[in-house]
Amino acid sequence: MTRRDQDQAKETQRRDMDTLQQENALLRETEERRALVLEAARRVALDILASRTGVEALRHIAEAARTIARARYVALGVARLDGQGLMEFVTAGLTREQEAAIERRPRGLGVLGLLLTRTEPLRIDNLEEHPASVGFPPNHPRMTSFLGVPIRRGEITLGSLYLTDKEDGSPFTEADEAAVQELGAHAAVAIHNLHMISRQRALVRGLIAAQEEERRAVAYDLHDGLTQFVMAAHAHLDSFRKSYEEGKGERAARELEQGLRYLKEAVIESRRLVNGLRSLALDDLGLAGALEQTFSEEKRRAGWVEAELIHNIAGKRFDKALETAVYRVAQEALTNVRKHAAATHVRLVLLERQGERPGHSQLTLEVRDWGRGFVPEEVGDTYNHVGLQGMIERVSLMGGSFEIQGVPGEGTTVRAIFPVLPAEL
């Protein structure tokens, strides 16, 4: 072998060693990144079990992404449940002083908003030159290179990971992108948990509000209903006693008759209030029977000339919470008509129909009167103290929709749509 051949062989051996070292280095880096992802997943699982807010899990995700990609700054944005901007935004890499100095929090505009509409990652060499960029708020660090990774669960984008400025000044790579995407799968679990916590808190707030509204409604009914009848009965019976003692028989008879009439109304009103606290009719008669009974009682008390009840749920039972919600909304709407509408024509319609999704039905409740109506801008002042908020909360807690429409002199329509829950066996 000539000297030249020997030199070429040594050079080939050296290149092979370099290649092997590079492959080993890449393998070690890949293993290190995988270990970081698994450690982040473990921390997220512990945070989800221990945290009341879910935010700490997001912070660990952001820190893990910063370490994996060797980025200076990382942020994790959580999309709002309604899809309009961000509900949560956590950072890694900024000091507390730096973060406090930034005048306004991101709202999901510019490149951050763009990521919420994408299904694939986005790499940018110069962030400020991107067409979607809206610049930085005052006191925000300058950032150049950018890697954005959508966090998705199925077909839904839950949020995004935003990484800027690698520590060595180089652009982000495909390897960075792949590693952060793997981390994003664990972030999706943390964000889903955060959304569940948010929904639970909203439900609790709604339930508390509905309970408080019911208490106010009961107090209102006691003051303006039962108490008034009892006080009137007391006054007439007291007058009866005096007239009887004075020998005024004819007047005593009238006062006694009037007092007994008010006592009878008090008995009816007390039964209505007890029924309002917990409907025994729902347990015994089901939703259709309970509504028929309530509608008949309200018609008699209000003296409606034309009263229609239309439904297609005869003999059907639904989830107890759903039956209660529909019954209470109908009950409140009918009470409002009796007390405020000055109507003689009233109609209640409850129909089970096919929902938007195949195999899912919904209950549509509509209570309409042809009474005095209202000015839409004044509906809050007119109806809030008689349970409008309670109706809204009940429908919302069941995942339904609610609307109220009115025209002065033409009447009012209350409409609520509830997704149907099957009866528990």
Domain CATH code at residue 299: 3.30.565.10
Residues 422 and 309 in one domain: yes
Q: Which residue has the tokens 């009115």?
A: 406
Evaluate whether residue 124 is within a structural domain: yes
pLDDT band at 365 (very low <50, low <70, confident <90, very high): very high
| Region of residue 85 (phi > 0: left; psi between -120 and 50: alpha; otherwise: beta) | left
Average pLDDT score over residue span 9-33: 61
DSSP β-ladder status, 345-354 and 401-407:
unpaired
Question: Which of the listed residues 175, 199, 223 is the one where a domain comes to its end?
Answer: 199
Instruction: Report the distance separating Cα 350 and Cα 313, nearest Å.
Output: 8
pLDDT number for residue 382: 45
Residues 41 and 171 in one domain: yes
Question: Which of the listed residues 199, 222, 240 is the one where a domain comes to its end?
Answer: 199
Evaluate whether residue 179 is within a structural domain: yes
pLDDT number for residue 14: 66
Beta bridge partners of 74: 92, 163
pLDDT number for residue 49: 41
Q: Which structure tokens are listed for 263? A: 């006592």
Instruction: Report the distance separating Cα 331 and Cα 274, nearest Å.
Output: 13
- Assessment of whether the complete model's pTM goes beyond 0.95: no
pLDDT number for residue 276: 57
Evaluate whether residue 252 is within a structural domain: no
Closest CA to 226 of 278, 274, 171: 274
**Contact residues for 354 (Cβ-Cβ < 8 A; gap 6+):** 360, 361, 362
Evaluate whether residue 3 is within a structural domain: no
Q: Are 112 and 77 in contact (CB under 8 A)?
A: yes
Residues 171 and 306 in one domain: no
**Four-CA torsion 130, 135, 139, 141, nearest 10 degrees:** 0
Q: Which structure tokens are listed for 21? A: 């070292």
pLDDT digits (tens, 9 = 90+) for 166-205: 988 899 988 888 888 888 877 787 777 777 777 766 666 6
Identify the sign of the CA torsion 409, 329, 279, 284. Answer: positive
pLDDT beyond 60 at 23: no
Question: Which of the listed residues 166, 199, 232 is the one where a domain comes to its end?
Answer: 199
- Count of domains forming the chain: 2
pLDDT beyond 90 at 295: yes
Evaluate whether residue 205 is within a structural domain: no
Closest CA to 238 of 214, 255, 213, 262: 255
pLDDT number for residue 380: 47
Residues 169 and 302 in one domain: no
Evaluate whether residue 241 is within a structural domain: no
Q: Could you list the residue range(s) of the whole structural domain that residue 408 is in?
A: 278-425
Question: Per mean pLDDT, which range of 104-113, 281-290, 335-344, 367-376 is the poorest?
Answer: 104-113
Average pLDDT score over residue span 346-370: 89
Residues 183 and 40 in one domain: yes
